[in-house]
Amino acid sequence: MCYFQKLGSSISRRFLTSLFIITGIFCVTGCGTVTDYHKGKASIVICLHDQKAYVYKGKNIVASSTISTGREGHNTPVGHFHVILKDLDHCSSVYGYYADESGHPVKENIDIRKDPKPPGTHYVGASMPFFLEFSPGYGLHQGYLPGFPASHGCVRMPYWKARQFYDMAKVGTAVTVTQ
């Protein structure tokens, strides 16, 4: 909930907006929009140990999210990267399921490199909305968060946060992944 909504109707929205502009406070709403009064380039920091991700503008955190990163054997790469691709409706070229002619799943949770395709089926890549690729084959995107590292190496986020990060990032945005 936005800070405006928590204060109630006794303080005018106009006054609060002026106060927030003067003091440099920003508001992050539940629907993923950000009113950000900080200057500077956006950058993304992913903390594997804490399972958290942050968007900075200059030295100020303007958005944060819980995440689910790569599980053992599918580790999320650590280091300094940049967003190399933005894709609103990305689908995996490796992970997904085999479907019949009607589109119904026949074999789920497959790795196209390891799982043979059953006769009469076709491959359907896993949906990865709001995809921000920062290293070939690795990116941030909307996905399931079980509360621990569980992905094939990507950084999963809740829908609204993935949308928020996607909207703030550009191709070239710095991404740092730390242990």
- CATH number given to 42-178: 2.40.440.10
Domain locations in the chain as residue ranges? 1-37, 42-178
Pairing relationship of beta strands 138-142 and 155-157 according to DSSP bridges: parallel
User: Are 163 and 55 in contact, with CB atoms under 8 Å apart?
Assistant: no
Q: C-alpha angle 178/30/38, rounded to 5°?
A: 60
**8-state DSSP, 31:** T
pLDDT of residue 39: 83
> What pLDDT tens digit does each residue of the chain (179 aa) get?
233 333 344 444 444 344 343 334 444 444 444 555 678 899 999 999 999 999 999 999 999 999 999 999 999 999 999 999 999 999 999 999 999 999 999 999 999 999 999 999 999 999 999 999 999 999 999 999 999 999 999 999 999 999 999 999 999 999 999 99
State residue 108's pLDDT score: 97
pTM: 0.79
Q: What are the C-alpha distances in Å from 58 to residues 17, 45, 174?
A: 22, 12, 12
Task: Report DSSP state, residue 118.
Answer: P
What is residue 36's predicted lDDT score, i.e. its pLDDT? 59
Sorted by sequence, the CB contacts under 8 Å of residue 156 that are 6+ apart come out as: 67, 68, 69, 141, 142, 143, 144, 145, 150
Q: In this predicted structure, what is the pLDDT of residue 104?
A: 97
The predicted pLDDT at position 13 comes to 42
